[in-house]
Structure 1
Amino acid sequence: MKVYSHDIPSLPLVGIAYLAIGSSEKRMKFIQTVGHETNKKGGIIAEWFGPTPYLVVSDAEIAGLLSKSCLEKDDLFRKMIGYLVGNGNIVAKVSEWRTRRRILVPTFNTKNLNKFVHIFSKQGEIMVDHLRNKADAQPFSVWSYFAANNMDSVCESVMGVQLKAQEHSKHPFLWAFAEAFYFTANRMFQPWLYNDAIYRLLPSYRKHKIARDTMFDFVGDMIVSKRKEIKNCHNKNMHIDEQPMKTFLEMLIESSEEEGGYTNEELTDETMVLMLASTDTSANAAAFAMIMLSRHPEVQEKVFEELKEIFGESKRPVVPEDLPRLKYLDVVLKETLRIFPPVPTILRKVTSDFALPSGVTIPEGYGILINIWGIHHNSTYWGEDVEDFRPERFLDTPFKHPAQFMPFSFGPRNCPGYQYALMSMKTLLATTLREYRVLPATSPDEANRYPPLRLCHELMLRDADEWRVCLEPRRKNNL
């Protein structure tokens, strides 16, 4: 293969992986450094990461082509994320993924998703009430509130479980979820821990396993319970109109019947993927949006004017019909997802020699690292103001390529639940911003510039300072 060279120093045995060793902030700086370098070199470079050679891509056209053609997930990704969520569709081999995808996608239709908006809205109102004691213009972490809110919304809509994370933050599942995330992220960026025999000798493995087992036991118990509920409904010949709203889990059980039915293990895997993809992803993106709105009051005012136009002075809950009308909030979210993509990289592998349009052939065995952060910060597609927060770019500038914006991946293996995530985020932000004005936690300098956020990578993109903002009530009687 033609060598796509770069200016990042490479070391024997580890390649450029040494740049990612250390803190989660250093891991994110590695992703950013590689993204900048790839953009400088025309959107594609080649390098070793530990024992595997990778083609790193930040060109939208090439990334789009590879996303559609190289469908097998990278071995490293399957190993690390597979331990976290089992063999769900996000990591499954192509032969298994096709069947699972065929079952999964229909459950995410608009009719089904609209039924969950009342859950998003109800949980959002609970969160707004909990935020009252924080609406004193003092800095605090809004993420912890968003994360608990999302966990409650996801558990109720996916499994029908009232977790009440917003009331009881010490639930074992919440602890296990955070722990498993932490250990998976640490291991992924330490090549010397890839060997299972070595990793199992470490105290971190035992902690990792306890957290993982706690998660799987909780979800597994919920699945057994849900199967019993469904069987009881069938035995009682309950009419469909008399049944409570179906959860994702129930829809998966029923929609898989034509394929022979999911086993409990398969249902656990798919449920774990839904939990992973729907909680931190949405909470992180919504929290980043709050920081951007706090630093751009003119944008926040436009959002609030849109909310007033739709809701007036009423305190009624958000309903499904409201969401398509929140057009400006929609582009605010998209611009936030562009600058801060929740999952900043995608890993695939080349299973047979693959020819690029340039005539260059990528050999079998190569890994593919699609640097979403690099694509979203590539001035070739976004212009010279690529680092600026400007939601209007989604209104006034047509895309040069559909893959230049891919916060939920791209191609056949994109995230099937992206509409679920967007609907939950829009409901959460609309509910919050109707009640509170968000202010920055830090002051700008003399040139009215705010310090850059300290970003870190723990499987997903995070703010190292935990998304700190200030709130003020919009209504005088709000406190």
Structure 2
Amino acid sequence: MIWQLLLVALALGAAYYRWSRRRLYKLAAEIPCLPDSYPVIGHAHIFAGSNEDIMQQLQNLGRISNDHDGLTSFWVANRLLVSMTDPKAIEVVSKACLDKDEFLIKYIRTAIGNGSIFAPVNIWHPRRKINAPFFSRKNLDQLMPVFDAKSSIMADLLRAEAGGGDFPIWRYVTTFTFDTVCETALNVPINTQKDSEHYYLLNAIDGCTQVLAKRVLQPWLHPDIVFKKNNNNELSHFIEAVIQSSGGLEKGYSDMELREELMVFMVAGSDTSATAVSYTTVLLSRYPDVQDKVYQELQEVFGESDRAVTPEDLPKLTYLEAVIKESLRLYPPVPVVVREVHEDILLPSGTTLVVETTVMFNIWGTHRNTAYWGRDAEEFRPERFLQGPLPHPAMFVPFSYSVRNCLGATYAMMSAKTALVNLIRRYRLLPPAGVRAADLQRPLPVKFDIMMKAVDNFTLRIEERNRKPLMMQAKWQKALIDNAQSPAERARLLAVSEPESGLWLHALPSPNIGTLLERTTLALATSLRLGVKTNEPHRCRCGSIVDELGHHGLSCQRSAGRISRHASLNDVIRRALASVSVPAILEPNGIARDDGKRPDGMTLIPWRLGRTLVWDATCVDTLAPSHLQATSVKAGAAATTAEQNKRRKYAVLSEGYIFAPFGVETLGPWGPSAKSLFKEISQRLIDTSGDRRAGSYLGQRISLAIQKAKLLARIS
């Protein structure tokens, strides 16, 4: 009789339990759910295995979410998790749900405590106010000498690896970030870079995060008795070691709060920065063309000097910043973030998230959502961050999003920039020996240790740069520019030093494929590039005096060459789009500015993000009097200004179309939007044809079109 009553009680309890959670089960039925859910553990069995296996499953969840409009669901024990990769949904949930999910985060708190990153809202909010002044830009600028000094030590120590074989750069980078965080945030000079005795602290961090990563997603490790036996009390030893080495902080915390915030600074602050820098170095080693562009930018800012990096230098390093952001996009240090739903939330898709749902922002998947990033979302292309504002702010969230984003994002970016400047100025980064060229651009094997890290600890090679030839070249280039006799001569020298200006020189001269410049055109293009005499002085039909250099014809309002080069540019772009099966028309009807002027071209099918591409090309004269003030200071300034003007004039189109101004100059430089669109079309040409030279051919044709138009401009 007792057994029967117990069975009835159990049956009633199970029925009530299921009935009380009916809305969760309904939500799981509405959102595509993973198969093979088992009793008690749900889908947690997919997270069994190594930290690398766990990361592969999180990546798979991101892919599945992207395939189902940004949402998919799965169960961990009795908890319903919704993996989210749709930026619109992430924006809504980020603002509505500030609490981290208690079910999962409580296991991380066994080591970190209620530190700011993982604390409940009632604890997080006042602590954020205490920490905020430290992360102000004014205070961070004052920390630059520490960033520079510690990263210079890292660069000095790396000399032992230069010219040798493969080695993991992780140890060098993580000791740099650890020393930097300890000295800037905690005012404690640990000096782990030079004193290996302190490296046990970093080993403790690695051991801590590896164990915690497994515990969070493996329910069989949730019970404390199992976990304590499993981890052999490593966490306790780690916490005590950190506290004993940390010293003190500013006033405003109790003893317990101090311990918790110390953990956040040392674990999250150090590990996140180190991971970001390490991924960037590995990617640069595998993409030498990108590394060369970064180095060129460093040469422009620092020249041949080894001077210290200052706060004023960092805003000038726009391409380096784009490279770091692209690294963070493909390999976000924190690949997932979890939030707990306390009130029903209506998503833009119409789905309602119910109370007790756990939302997992799958940052790894969000950063690869082709609906927002395009078909090349898996490609490493830093130029995408030079195209202007992103279509949606929540599509790039390496430091989380909304009011509970990472307070140290600017700190991390400044630290990373400084470290990479001092590293790349001295060394060329190379991939591991013996890796096939075809494998260099494959995704890096990664593992989940709370942070996402490379399985091979970021292995690469380095060699010291032979800076003598470069320094000599930089010297005579600088001497030429500094000693220019006029603004026009200076503008010419700056322009022809741009890589795009010489693309036509690399074209195979063949009349069959239209890449042969006839004799007079070749002579004129060469003369203009070298700044030598092209004609006798005379008066143009517009009334202006034309000097012996012949520059006037390139900008004269009566020059037929202006129309020719404009038409040629658009024809090259249209043909390139057709080659990738994207039909386009020139001067499309139905879209125009307020003054009735139409853009140059439009694709007839969506280009990306479900929107068609609209472009408007312009070729401005580098040496025109109206541009000389800018072009004699910075190469490409006229093209950049022209693109900005186009964006303002066609601002009305940006809402319904992808608008891309394509600005180039007569002496060769391109604007940032032109470079970005060129890169995007080139990648599609390479994907379609299988020929990695396809992009180079397109660049040569654009450059040739400009050169051919010069003759007509000169004659007219």
Class of the TM-score when normalised by the shorter of the 2 chains? 0.7 to 0.9
- The answer to whether the 8 A contact 2:76-2:217 is kept is no
Comparing 93-102 and 287-296, the one that deviates more: 93-102
Comparing 119-128 and 14-23, the one that deviates more: 14-23
Written as runs of structure 1 = structure 2, the 5 A alignment for 1:79-90 is 79-90=106-117
1:389 is paired with a residue whose SS is coil
- The answer to whether the 8 A contact 1:442-1:450 is kept is no
Q: Distance in 1 between matches of 2:240 and 2:104?
A: 20
Q: Distance in 2 between matches of 1:329 and 1:69?
A: 34
Which of 267, 271, 274 matches 2:265? 274
Deviation at 1:394, TM superposition (A): 0.7
Which TM-score applies when normalising by structure 1? Answer: 0.88
Of structures 1 and 2, the larger Rg is shown by 2
Which of 400, 418, 426 matches 1:427? 418
Written as runs of structure 1 = structure 2, the 5 A alignment for 1:159-238 is 159-171=186-198, 172-200=200-228, 202-219=229-246, 222-223=247-248
- The answer to whether the 8 A contact 2:272-2:451 is kept is yes
- The answer to whether the 8 A contact 1:148-1:169 is kept is no
Q: Is 1:106 the equivalent of 2:97?
A: no
One-letter identity of the residue aligned with 2:157: H
Deviations 1:203-229, CA, capped at 9 Å, x for gaps: 51422322233223433xx12xxxxxx
- Tell me which residue corresponds to 2:46: 19
2:403 is paired with a residue whose SS is coil
* Percent of residue pairs identical: 39
- Tell me which residue corresponds to 1:329: 320
1:369 is paired with a residue whose SS is strand
2:394 is paired with a residue whose SS is helix
Deviations 1:167-204, CA, capped at 9 Å, x for gaps: 1223143333232222222322321111223323x151
- Tell me which residue corresponds to 2:431: 440
- Tell me which residue corresponds to 1:243: none
Deviation at 1:8, TM superposition (A): 4.1
- Tell me which residue corresponds to 1:128: 155
Deviations 1:314-343, CA, capped at 9 Å, x for gaps: 111111111111110000000000000000
Q: Distance in 2 between matches of 1:377 and 1:443?
A: 29
Written as runs of structure 1 = structure 2, the 5 A alignment for 1:30-179 is 30-171=57-198, 172-179=200-207
Comparing 150-159 and 395-404, the one that deviates more: 395-404
Q: Distance in 2 between matches of 1:311 and 1:338?
A: 27
Q: Distance in 2 between matches of 1:92 and 1:332?
A: 32
Deviation at 1:25, TM superposition (A): 0.7
One-letter identity of the residue aligned with 1:186: K
Deviations 1:234-272, CA, capped at 9 Å, x for gaps: xxxxxxxxxxxxxxx33xx2xxxxxxx321221221222
Deviation at 1:357, TM superposition (A): 3.4
Which TM-score applies when normalising by structure 2? Answer: 0.59
- Tell me which residue corresponds to 1:10: 37
Distance verdict in 2 for CA 1:446–1:266, change over 3 Å: closer
Deviation at 1:273, TM superposition (A): 1.0
> Which blocks of at least 5 consecutive residues in structure 1 are unaligned?
224-248, 254-260
Deviation at 1:451, TM superposition (A): 4.4
Comparing 272-281 and 8-17, the one that deviates more: 8-17
Comparing 87-96 and 179-188, the one that deviates more: 179-188
- The answer to whether the 8 A contact 1:64-1:410 is kept is yes
Distance verdict in 2 for CA 1:214–1:36, change over 3 Å: same
Deviation at 1:475, TM superposition (A): 3.8
Deviation at 1:449, TM superposition (A): 4.9
- Tell me which residue corresponds to 2:399: 408
- Tell me which residue corresponds to 1:258: none
One-letter identity of the residue aligned with 2:265: L
Q: Distance in 2 between matches of 1:72 and 1:80?
A: 15
Q: Distance in 2 between matches of 1:119 and 1:362?
A: 46
1:403 is paired with a residue whose SS is helix
2:80 is paired with a residue whose SS is strand
One-letter identity of the residue aligned with 1:459: I
Which of 244, 248, 263 matches 2:254? 263
2:196 is paired with a residue whose SS is coil
Deviation at 1:107, TM superposition (A): 2.1
- The answer to whether the 8 A contact 1:140-1:468 is kept is yes
Distance verdict in 2 for CA 1:183–1:447, change over 3 Å: closer
Deviation at 1:352, TM superposition (A): 2.3
Deviations 1:41-85, CA, capped at 9 Å, x for gaps: 110112212221111111111011111111111113431221222
Q: Distance in 2 between matches of 1:41 and 1:11?
A: 23
Written as runs of structure 1 = structure 2, the 5 A alignment for 1:294-305 is 294-305=285-296
Q: Distance in 1 between matches of 2:345 and 2:156?
A: 55
Count the aligned residue pairs: 440
> Which blocks of at least 5 consecutive residues in structure 2 are unaligned?
1-25, 469-716
Comparing 205-214 and 442-451, the one that deviates more: 442-451
Deviations 1:337-377, CA, capped at 9 Å, x for gaps: 00000000001111122232344322211111110001001
One-letter identity of the residue aligned with 1:30: Q
Deviation at 1:382, TM superposition (A): 0.3
One-letter identity of the residue aligned with 2:115: G
- The answer to whether the 8 A contact 2:100-2:118 is kept is yes
Comparing 67-76 and 270-279, the one that deviates more: 270-279
- The answer to whether the 8 A contact 2:88-2:348 is kept is no
- The answer to whether the 8 A contact 2:40-2:78 is kept is yes
- Tell me which residue corresponds to 1:229: none
- The answer to whether the 8 A contact 2:326-2:380 is kept is yes
- The answer to whether the 8 A contact 2:282-2:431 is kept is yes
